[in-house]
Amino acid sequence: MFAGKRHRVFRHNRGTSLTSETEKKPGISPEDRRMAFGAIAGGVVNIIKTVLQLLLLPVMARLLGPSEFGLYALALPTISLVTLLADGGLGNTLVREQESSSLVWSSAFWALQIMGITLAVAAAVFGVFLGYVAQQPRLPGLIALLSLSLVFLTLSVAPLARLTRRKNIGVGASADLVSNIVGATLAVTLAVYGAGAWSLAGQYVVTFGVRAIILNLAVMEFPRFEFSFSALRPHLVSGGIMVASRISEYAGRAVENLMLDKLFGTALLGSFTFANQVSKFASESVANMSWGALYVQALTESKDRIVILHRQLCRLLGLAMLPATFIGAAAAPELVSLLLGPKWADLPFLLRIFLPLYAISAICSQTAPVLLAYGRFEIQFWCIVGLTVGRLLAVAGGIWYGFTGVAYGMIAVLLTYSVAMLTISGEATGCRPLPMLAGLVRPALSSVIAAAAYLFTSSFFPLGAAGTLLGLCAALATYALCMVLLDWKNLREDWTSVRRILVKH
């Protein structure tokens, strides 16, 4: 999958074959193998974190009650917004810099610490004002405690960038896993002893703190007492575009939620937000496995090699994400009824829209790390701005077309964004859309057939846990059978690509 030291000639079978024809024993460097294991570890950690959150949520809800959760919900948005600014986008841009450039790394470290402390103090001061307005005397203390996470976040940026540059992203995955387990354990312990909302705030801060400690211990690189704004300026410019992109998306979602609440009420907004967040989180948790790997490889490999790697990773993501989201969309009514109950009657319709769309969007957005590595992230920025404006227009259209019109408008907007990410970035990255999409045709077709198999199977059995489980098993078996019948040769080559990374020759 990743680049070796010797030249290879690749052939393309039906537009999707990605393996080497002439080299029997491809040279996989230790760095590339470490990178691959790190990417896989990151994916496993994301899955564990998701499961942990799903298990922790009902436990904490039972221990704390709605009022304590509500108090925490008042405090968290302030920190979440400031967190978008805390690293200044330097976490990704520093990866481009040679570690021998001590002036740049030292300047970045001191700039990050100044930024983290300043934002933490500003958030704490704002918390006093917010507590007075909301008439919640405990709110300033909660926000002050949560603001410590900003300092820990900025302490993590430089060591994580060094580890990523060394293609040792497995350490970052390990740090995430350990910190989340420690944070969850602390939250439950404090909640049992009656700490209330403080237990959630403590979990948030400790998670960032433990992560910062592990990352810094793994690197053990101390900055020099030197600073140069001019040396840091190129990184601040690139990082500024990334921060602007985050703020654009965050502001758009806030306005979008406000409009939905005014037009359709809080209950429908809750279903929309839940479907949006679950679909986005699930897709990004898988897609992030390849994002970091593709970014680092794009910094160090030739453009031709990155085109091949991009196509491979998009196909592998499609093999995993398309069946999961299509089958999940088909089973949404039964899953929602079993897990959430009848109050969420509007949710299945939205999940059937957002689950497949976010999977497609996440795959098409794999050009973003390549754009960042090539210094063309402004393309991603304008695509996100267009996405934000499009979503707001789709919601505004609900005045005339109702909520169903909003949902279908979201389909048009997300598909347009996906097409834009593929086509507009093609010249800058060299990753043309048609060869990449060709590798996804058969997985997509197999996923649609699998979703139909679920619907067909579930129609013959009574609704319930057993019938839903049987339908899901039938759908997965159908997907596997279709892929074997339609795409066996490329599946073998996909496995060969993965095995070259995981197995030493």
pLDDT tens figures, 353-384: 999 999 999 999 999 989 988 888 889 899 99
Is the per-residue pLDDT at 162 higher than 90?
A: no
More confident residue, 164 or 211: 211
* 464 secondary structure, DSSP code: S
Q: How many CB atoms lie within 10 A of CB 333?
A: 17
Helices (H) and strands (E) in the chain, counts: 19, 0
Position 208 scores a pLDDT of 94
- What's the chain's average pLDDT? 82
Strand-pair partners of 10: 20
What is the percent of the chain where pLDDT is above 70?
A: 88
> What 3-state DSSP class applies to 99?
coil
- The residue-averaged pLDDT of 432-453 equals 92
Q: How far apart are the first and last CA of the chain?
A: 14
Is the per-residue pLDDT at 341 higher than 70?
A: yes
Record the tokens describing residue 435, joined without a space.
Answer: 């060869």
Alpha-carbon span 11 to 309, nearest angstrom: 14
Q: How many CB atoms lie within 10 A of CB 495?
A: 11
Alpha-carbon span 279 to 354, nearest angstrom: 6
Does this model's pTM top 0.85? My answer is: no
Position 36 scores a pLDDT of 61
Is the per-residue pLDDT at 212 higher than 90?
A: yes
Residue with tokens 């350990």: 178
pLDDT band at 446 (very low <50, low <70, confident <90, very high): very high
Is the per-residue pLDDT at 6 higher than 60?
A: no
Alpha-carbon span 202 to 200, nearest angstrom: 5
> What 3-state DSSP class applies to 166?
coil
Closest C-alpha among 435, 440, 442, 428 to residue 370: 428
Alpha-carbon span 328 to 458, nearest angstrom: 13
pLDDT in tens, 112-157: 999 999 999 999 999 898 888 878 888 899 999 999 999 999 999 9
Alpha-carbon span 39 to 170, nearest angstrom: 7
CA distances from 228 to 92, 96, 103, 113 (A): 19, 18, 7, 15
Alpha-carbon span 133 to 129, nearest angstrom: 6
**At 195, phi and psi to the nearest 5?**
-75, -15
Q: How many CB atoms lie within 10 A of CB 398?
A: 18
* 344 secondary structure, DSSP code: G
Alpha-carbon span 491 to 3, nearest angstrom: 20
Alpha-carbon span 489 to 505, nearest angstrom: 23
Strand-pair partners of 20: 10
Is the per-residue pLDDT at 461 higher than 80?
A: no
| Sign of the torsion angle spanned by Cα atoms 420, 426, 431, 435 | positive
Alpha-carbon span 121 to 123, nearest angstrom: 5
- The residue-averaged pLDDT of 82-86 equals 83
> What 3-state DSSP class applies to 247?
helix
Count CA atoms within 13 Å of residue 218 on its CB side. Answer: 25
Alpha-carbon span 112 to 217, nearest angstrom: 18
- The residue-averaged pLDDT of 167-194 equals 87
Q: How many CB atoms lie within 10 A of CB 80?
A: 11
CA distances from 143 to 40, 53, 156 (A): 35, 22, 21
Alpha-carbon span 430 to 267, nearest angstrom: 45
Contact 260, 272 (CB under 8 A): yes
pLDDT band at 9 (very low <50, low <70, confident <90, very high): very low
pLDDT band at 13 (very low <50, low <70, confident <90, very high): very low
Q: How many CB atoms lie within 10 A of CB 224?
A: 12
Contact 74, 130 (CB under 8 A): yes
